[in-house]
Amino acid sequence: MHRVCDGKPLPGRQAAGRLGLGAIGVALALAVASVSQAYAAQAVNLGPERSHPAGDLPYSVETADLNGDRVLDIVTPNTVSHDVSVLLGRGDGSFRPAVNFPAGKGPRTAVTTDLDEDGRIDLAVSDVFDRAVLVLRGDGRGGFGPPARLPAGDQPRNLITRDFDRDGHADLAVVNRREDEVGVYLGRGDGTFAAPVTYAAGNRLAVGEDGDAYDLDSADFDRDGRLDLAVANRASNNLSILPGNGDGSFRAGANYPVGRTPFDVTAGDFNRDRNPDLAVGNLDSKSISIFLGNGAGTFARIPDQGKGVAAFTLAVADFDADGRQDLAAVNNANTRYVARKEYPGSASILLGRGDGTFGKPSDHAVGTRPVAIAGDDLDRDGRADLATANRESDDITVLLRTDPGLSLSASRSRLTWPGTTTLRGRLTSAHGDPLVGRRVLLYRRPWVRGAFTRVPGQPDAGTPVAADGTFRLAGARPEWTTDYRARFVGDRAGTRAVASPLAVVEQRPRITLKVGRTDLRLGGSRAITGLVSHHSHAGLFVTVVVRRDGAVVEERRLALDREVDYGFVYRPRRPGDYSFVARFDGHPPGHLPNRTRPTGFRVIR
């Protein structure tokens, strides 16, 4: 199964998981206007594969903190040995030997969440050979009790957990492959569930008894506060959207064509517009279909990405820490990579550009015939690593980042114009030792412009790294909401290039409003003027709200265009106490809202 990793520290990741819902620095004196191309070429450096034995035919991989030590562990269900393997993490990217727990007749997919709300992570597992979903309660130490059986349809496969009915309890949804349906189990919060309700997906006529519907994911596609479903149908080669009603039920929706034999669908925000998008892995057409959501429940398909990637499963993470979601895929039959054994396969990373498109895939060796992938921080260095489940070599492959460590933060992350902040960070080797004597380059990317440029005020050769590995630059002034990033370009000593995670600084505009305070006689008029003290550009508006004796009588929306001032002439129609508030609503994304204090005058006869 796929996971979404945002590269944040474990506490935030675990809280989200309860309900389901990453050479020559001194000589590089760049006269840089934009470095977007350099970032497009940024590589993700992964170390050699580390193999960890699992059971017989591991078929999915899930990460969670199972024993409360703030270190991610790995769970994989083994279809042939009828159990789940738990590999407890040590915090450095290595894992203890697998401990196996019985799990029915054919466990296929596992998800982790706290099903009985006792503060301990539990497991839900689809049992493909016993028409069941299994619940294994966790003991908080990495162990699990005997499975409790929930009835399912024929060949339940991929499984997710969310809160579909908005009652605060974890629910489950599973694809019953041979019945072309999704079964939804509403949780009671005590580890038990209501009887499943099924919803049609896929088309049995397209493939017969073998089934059509294969994978699913969930997000609020139409932004109505109710979770929806997306189902990949592997034979009819389409994607079904099932809008949610907010009570745990779903209705039929639109179908979208995809590539040949879609085996995976996963949700993300690939163009940073805060609307859920979808990625679909097409096994036979060796591509990834991208659907950009408009926030109204419909999608626009852009040209397929990752040509040559025979994606069996996908994972979403920010692997290069640039604030843009990337994709990772396991290639179950990817002949572009020369395999060592009978079944070719690899893991590919596709770096996102932030507009819904992705760069050329980079391939990485894993075990034999990988079938599942997860992107998460397995060694607690703040960067997304990879784990794959390999069905033929019966093991889990872990690939850790081998880049130097580079952090960046801002002393103040919320400002009012013209405020400034201090950028500071630390550069270390892959082993945590300070890289003394190097220099880092600092860049900024305002959300309203989209390209990285050098931060003013730093030396041409870059900001020096102190003896303790730290660096700082004071006086950085953002333009609206701005991404800041540090970059070390590598050196002749063999230290690789690395880019830091983003430091996001939000800046509110300062708004003024002048209306005059003296009384105005009825029939007269008054000039209402103001200023938005900030960088401006087309598409911004200020709304002036007019109240008489406390009641709203008018709202006037004024375009700023490329000016920062605004105004109009107001002629009251009735006597009374008038007050005015100017409000900047903060649209489009990257602009924070702000408003003035009420000010006004009295209108007399």
Contacts of 431 (CB under 8 A, 6+ apart): none
Whether the pLDDT of residue 594 is over 60: the answer is yes
Q: Could you give the count of Cα atoms lying within 13 Å of 250 in the half-sphere of its Cβ?
A: 30
511-603: which CATH topology? Immunoglobulin-like (2.60.40)
What pLDDT digit, counting tens, does each position of 496-552 carry?
677 787 888 888 888 899 999 899 999 999 999 998 876 555 567 889 999 999 999
- Rg over CA atoms, the chain: 27
Question: Looking at residue 490, what is its pLDDT?
Answer: 72
Lookup result for tokens 């779903």: 250
Buried b (16+ CB within 10 A) or exposed e, 50-67: bebebbebbbbbbbbbbb
**How large is the average pLDDT for residues 560-567?**
74
Q: Does domain 115-135+145-371 have CATH number 2.130.10.10?
A: yes
Strands 122-127 and 107-113: antiparallel
Where do the CATH 2.60.40.730 domains begin and end in the chain? 511-603
Q: Does domain 405-508 have CATH number 3.50.50.60?
A: no
204: confidence class by pLDDT, cuts 50, 70, 90: low
435: confidence class by pLDDT, cuts 50, 70, 90: confident
**Max mean pLDDT range (6-15, 126-135, 333-342, 592-601):** 126-135
Beta bridge partners of 162: 171
Q: Could you give the count of Cα atoms lying within 13 Å of 243 in the half-sphere of its Cβ?
A: 13
Give the span between the Cα atoms of 454 and 249, in whole angstroms.
51
Where do the CATH 2.130.10.10 domains begin and end in the chain? 115-135+145-371
Q: Which residue has the higher pLDDT, 506 or 144?
A: 144
Lookup result for tokens 């070390």: 488
What pLDDT digit, counting tens, does each position of 41-94 carry?
356 778 888 999 999 999 999 999 999 999 999 999 999 999 999 999 999 899
Helices (H), 328-472: none
Do the beta carbons of residue 312 and residue 371 sit within 8 Å? yes
Whether the pLDDT of residue 329 is over 50: the answer is yes
- The separation between CA 581 and the C-alpha centre of its own chain, rounded to angstroms, equals 37
Question: Looking at residue 192, what is its pLDDT?
Answer: 98
Beta bridge partners of 373: 388
210: confidence class by pLDDT, cuts 50, 70, 90: low
Give the span between the Cα atoms of 449 and 71, in whole angstroms.
38
Do the beta carbons of residue 332 and residue 310 sit within 8 Å? yes
Helices (H), 54-143: none
Question: Looking at residue 501, what is its pLDDT?
Answer: 77
Where do the CATH 2.60.40.10 domains begin and end in the chain? 405-508
Measured torsion, CA atoms of residues 465, 468, 473, 478, in degrees rounded to the nearest 10: 110
Do the beta carbons of residue 285 and residue 259 sit within 8 Å? yes
Angle 113-117-123 from CA coordinates, rounded to 5°: 30
Beta bridge partners of 25: none
Whose CA is closest to 57, among 365, 372, 346, 333? 372
Beta bridge partners of 111: 124
Eight-class DSSP state of 129? T
Helix (H, G, I), strand (E, B) or coil at 594: strand
User: Could you give phi then psi for residue 17, rounded to 5 degrees?
Assistant: -75, -15
146-160, 380-394, 437-451 — which is least confidently predicted? 437-451
Question: Looking at residue 591, what is its pLDDT?
Answer: 67
